[in-house]
Each structure stands twice: as structure tokens, then as C-alpha cells.
């Protein structure tokens, strides 16, 4: 494709769309980010980003108003050569995939689509969804080249990983796969071609594999604590200069918008026979209860009217994203115990400053190991499942 190709990213002002849009703009494509979030559109057009993304604002300043812009008008899709939908499959209150919500979103844009376009689905899809979308478009008399190219980027480091990681590419037709491979070939050196179902499973299995890794570490951590054994020493014994344990995860609050959700989608795909996935959910979602129990034991068995500081409210370290953060579940559990909770996070406006949290807290739980917390030496009882405050 020529570098003047017009790319429109639907849902483009979010954590997946912005890194991709900036990466395409850096390769001289003409990029329009479409989003219904007026605040995010306004922030981007002012030369800022609505969240932390390494190297993002530099690229935004360089390309904004030239070959990159953000709008709320969906009609711009009609002029696009490539339309990228950043619309993933959510799960409902019963942890089942809501495929219909993805299909309905595509249906809303049918009036702007045409056969000449390449349409790329970017976020997580439940296995079989791309073919469902293809059938829906076919019934509407539309036959664009339809592809699924799942994102696999790390939060906050999306731009650099888009350039560095291999890109999985699948298409409903060979022509769609070829077109998607060509455009992503402008961003990364290695393209991995699969069928749509293989790509859909690869994304789910990748996130589920990570979720299970965290679960076994968390299970071992709780097992050691309940036996009165220092898991930090156990972890060192297991991993120090032992190559087969080099990838063993550390314990921690396994949260965020993808890992849990995708594990549940994979369980649904396998007719709820993915027992490891369900067990991982019970372990990871149960860790906050365990942390509260550990702190309660250190404070003479009661948290009533005790001031407890949670250091770190985002779902991962050194980032400002709070989506599905287990620190908020931790807060609710502490409040059930009648504790007064001090939320502290340098990335969360309006939270309690660190100095005040350290001065007032009678107990501390490390929610997320931001760099600002790593070298602290708490003088009150604390719980640190991450293992950064061991003395």
C-alpha cells in the first residue's frame, strides 16, 4: 500500500487505539482516531494523551494536525482505505462472552463501509467471531477484506512493542490476509500468518497463560504464609541461578482489563471444562482476602477503626490505568472490616499523599510496587505480596 493510505481507527482514543494510531502516523500513513469519548478527543487534539504511554506525547506533537487527528464523527470511516475496529469481546455478569456487543458495533458502522476497504479487527475476539462478522456483512451486501490482527502490547509500552513484536495476521480470505500483512509490515519486521480461529485462540491463550502463571505464584505464596514459612526465602531458593525457574512469576495482584476476562472467555469456549482457568480465577481473586487476613493478624486480630494505607491503586506498576485493579477490591474488604482506608497512588489525582499515608497509617498493604514505593521501609505492620520490602 502507498504511504498515503488513509487509516481510521474506531475506538481510537483508548489504550489500544492510541499506540497503534501513533505508530501508523510515524510511518506517514494518514490517521484519524474516531471515539465517542469527547474528553479523550479534546485532550488528544490539545497535544496531550489521556493516559501514560512511553514516547506517546512526542509522537503526538510531531504528527498532530499533519497526518493525525481525533474526531467524534463516525462518518469519516466512509473515506478510509483501512478501518481498524478496536472493539473487544466483553464478558457478562455470568462470565460468558458477549459476542453480540461486538457484532452490533460493526452493524452501526455498516453504512460507512464499502467493498474497497480493508477492515481489521484489533482487540480480543471470542473464537468464531470474525466469521460471524463476515456473515453479517455479507447479509448486508458488503464484502470488504476482513482481517483479525490481535494486539499483544504491554500497557504503557505499546508503541515500542508494536515495532518490536511479531504481528499475528489472519484474514477471512487470502486477499484480506495479504492486505493486512502488507500494512502491518510497515510497522514490524515479522508477520505470523494464521487462520482467524487460530489468531482468536492465540490471543486468549496468551493472556490465560499469563493469568495461570500469576495464579500458581499466588497459590504458593498463600500456602507458605499459612504454614508460617517465609515465601520470599522459598522463592529465592527456587529461582537463584536455576535456569528452569527463570520465568517463574512473582506473587502479586493479577488484575487489569484482559487477563481475567480472556481466561473466562477461554473457559466458555471449552464449555466450562477449563478447570485450570477457573482455579486460577479463585486464587487470583482470593489474594486480596488473604492480604487483609495477614494484616489483621499483625494488628491483634482486628482492623476496626484502624487506619490502613493501600499504596498503589492502579492495576500495574508505574502506570495510571486503574481498570479492574484489585486494589479497589482490597479497599472494599478493608472497609468491611471497619478499617479507615487511605488510598495512595502517585498516578491517581486526589489520592492521599505518600507522606500523609506513612504518617497516619497503622498498617500498610502494598497494592502495586510503583518505583516511588520500592525503597520504603515502613515502620508499622505491613503486607507486601510483591516481595519488595523484605528486610
- pLDDT tens for each residue of 232-243: 999 999 999 999
> Quick one: pLDDT at residue 3?
53
292-295: Cβ within 8 A, 24+ apart: 292/330, 292/333, 292/334, 292/337, 292/365, 294/225, 294/383, 295/363, 295/365, 295/381, 295/382, 295/383
| Averages of pLDDT over each 10 residues, the chain, 391 residues | 81 95 97 96 96 94 96 97 92 86 95 98 95 96 97 91 97 98 96 98 96 97 96 94 92 91 95 96 97 97 97 94 95 98 96 97 97 95 93 52
pLDDT digits (tens, 9 = 90+) for 204-227: 999 999 999 999 999 999 999 999
Q: Give the position of cell 497463560.
A: 209
> Quick one: pLDDT at residue 255?
86
> What strands, in cross-sheet order, belong to the sheet with 191-193?
68-71, 30-34, 6-10, 82-85, 118-121, 145-148, 167-171, 191-193
- In the chain, what are the domains? 6-195 (3.40.50.720), 207-383 (3.40.50.720)
What is the distance between the alpha carbons of residues 378 and 27, in angstroms, rounded to a whole number?
Answer: 48
> Quick one: pLDDT at residue 1?
42
What is the distance between the alpha carbons of residues 203 and 259, in angstroms, rounded to a whole number?
Answer: 10
> Quick one: pLDDT at residue 87?
87
What is the 3-state secondary structure of 281-330? HHHHHHHHHHHHHHHHHHCCCCCCCCEEEEECCCCCCCCCCCCCCHHHHH
> Quick one: pLDDT at residue 90?
83
> Quick one: pLDDT at residue 257?
84
> Quick one: pLDDT at residue 4?
83
Task: Identify whether the C-beta of residue 258 lies closer than 8 Å to the C-beta of residue 207.
Answer: yes
What is the distance between the alpha carbons of residues 96 and 125, in angstroms, rounded to a whole number?
Answer: 13
pLDDT digits (tens, 9 = 90+) for 88-122: 888 888 888 889 999 999 999 999 999 999 999 99
What is the distance between the alpha carbons of residues 200 and 147, in angstroms, rounded to a whole number?
Answer: 11
> Quick one: pLDDT at residue 391?
52
Amino acid at each position: 500500500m502507498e504511504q498515503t493510505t488513509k487509516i481510521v481507527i474506531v475506538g481510537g482514543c483508548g489504550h489500544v487505539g492510541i499506540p497503534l494510531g501513533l505508530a501508523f502516523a510515524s510511518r506517514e500513513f494518514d490517521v484519524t482516531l474516531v471515539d465517542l469519548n469527547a474528553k479523550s478527543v479534546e485532550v488528544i487534539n490539545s497535544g496531550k494523551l489521556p493516559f501514560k504511554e512511553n514516547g506517546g506525547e512526542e509522537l503526538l506533537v510531531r504528527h498532530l494536525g499533519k497526518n493525525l487527528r481525533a474526531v467524534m464523527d463516525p462518518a469519516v470511516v466512509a473515506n478510509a482505505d483501512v478501518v481498524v475496529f478496536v472493539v473487544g469481546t466483553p464478558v457478562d455478569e455470568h462470565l460468558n462472552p458477549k459476542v453480540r456487543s461486538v457484532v452490533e458495533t460493526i452493524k452501526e458502522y455498516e453504512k460507512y463501509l464499502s467493498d474497497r476497504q480493508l477492515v481489521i479487527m484489533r482487540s480480543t475476539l471470542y473464537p468464531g467471531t470474525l466469521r460471524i462478522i463476515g456473515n453479517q456483512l455479507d447479509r448486508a451486501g458488503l464484502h470488504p477484506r476482513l482481517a483479525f490482527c490481535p494486539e499483544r502490547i504491554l500497557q504503557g509500552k505499546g508503541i515500542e512493542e508494536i515495532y518490536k513484536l511479531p504481528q499475528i495476521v489472519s484474514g477471512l480470505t487470502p486477499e484480506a490476509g495479504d492486505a493486512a500483512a502488507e500494512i502491518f509490515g510497515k510497522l514490524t519486521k515479522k508477520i505470523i500468518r494464521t487462520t482467524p480461529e487460530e489468531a482468536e485462540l492465540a490471543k486468549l491463550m496468551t493472556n490465560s497463560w499469563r493469568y495461570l502463571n500469576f495464579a500458581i505464584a499466588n497459590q504458593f505464596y498463600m500456602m507458605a504464609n499459612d504454614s508460617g514459612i517465609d515465601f520470599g526465602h522459598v522463592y529465592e531458593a527456587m529461582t537463584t541461578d536455576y535456569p528452569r525457574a527463570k520465568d517463574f512469576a512473582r506473587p502479586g495482584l493479577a488484575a487489569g482489563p484482559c487477563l481475567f476476562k480472556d481466561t473466562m472467555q477461554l473457559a466458555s469456549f471449552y464449555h466450562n471444562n477449563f478447570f485450570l482457568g477457573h482455579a486460577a480465577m479463585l486464587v487470583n481473586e482470593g489474594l486480596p482476602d488473604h492480604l487483609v487476613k495477614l494484616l489483621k493478624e499483625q494488628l491483634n486480630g482486628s482492623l476496626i477503626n484502624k487506619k490502613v494505607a493501600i499504596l498503589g491503586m492502579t492495576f500495574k506498576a508505574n502506570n495510571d490505568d486503574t481498570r479492574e485493579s484489585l486494589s479497589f477490591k482490597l479497599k472494599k474488604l478493608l472497609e468491611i472490616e471497619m478499617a479507615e482506608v487511605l488510598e495512595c497512588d502517585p498516578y491517581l489525582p486526589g489520592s492521599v499523599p505518600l507522606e500523609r499515608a506513612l504518617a497516619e497509617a497503622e498498617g500498610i498493604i502494598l497494592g502495586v510496587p510503583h518505583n516511588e514505593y520500592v525503597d520504603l521501609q515502613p515502620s508499622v505492620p505491613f503486607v507486601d505480596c510483591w516481595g519488595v520490602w523484605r528486610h
